[in-house]
Amino acid sequence: MSIFSIRKATADDISIIKQFIIDLAIYEKMLDDVVVTDELLHDSLFVHHSAHCILAFEDKTPVGFALYFYNYSTFLGKKGLYLEDLFVNPTYRGKGYGKQLLLHLVQVATQQNCGRMEWSVLNWNTPAIEFYESLGAEAMSEWTVFRLNSKKMEALISTK
């Protein structure tokens, strides 16, 4: 019988985290957008603590990850947990591992006195949408995500 476990990532896990990011980007058809390096991950996660990562294992095999950070709600007057990425290797799906990762983060959010948890899902990712809805999550259809990438930010600053 396999043993499932979740733990916080450490600096020794950088290559595992990076591979999960690449695997997620392939699944989301966004591999060309991945520019992260081992050094950037190390600095972001373990030096500046800009984000946090947990890893899921079946026995000793890494099978999934979740990467998150804290944001803030002015309406609630509390921080929130923002789930940036959650990914389970397709070979290990259907075993409840994604749910366990999400439940782990719900516990983290509760322990950290977060007012809410949020994340984004690609509109075409029906399996993920159905999974999140099955857990009671609600789509925020009245909100639209906007983004300025670094090139657009630089261009905007130059118009000043």
- Kindly provide the residue ranges of all beta strands, DSSP E only, lying in the chain, ordered along the sequence: 4-8, 52-58, 61-73, 78-88, 117-119
pLDDT at 123: 93
Residue 1: pLDDT band by 50, 70, 90 thresholds? confident
Return the closest-CA partner of residue 83 out of 113, 103, 57: 103
Candidate list 82, 92, 97, 132, residue with the active-site label:
132
Q: Is the pTM of this model over 0.85?
A: yes
Q: Using CA atoms, how far apart are residues 131 and 110, in angstroms rounded to an integer?
A: 21
Judge whether 27 counts as a catalytic residue. Answer: no
User: If you write DSSP's letter for every residue of 91-113 in order, what string do you get?
Assistant: GGTTSSHHHHHHHHHHHHHHHTT
55-81: pLDDT as tens digits = 999 999 999 999 999 999 999 999 999
| Domains by residue range for the chain, with CATH | 4-158 (3.40.630.30)
What three-state secondary structure class fits 85? strand
Instruction: Say how far apart CA 71 and CA 27 lie, in whole Å.
Output: 26
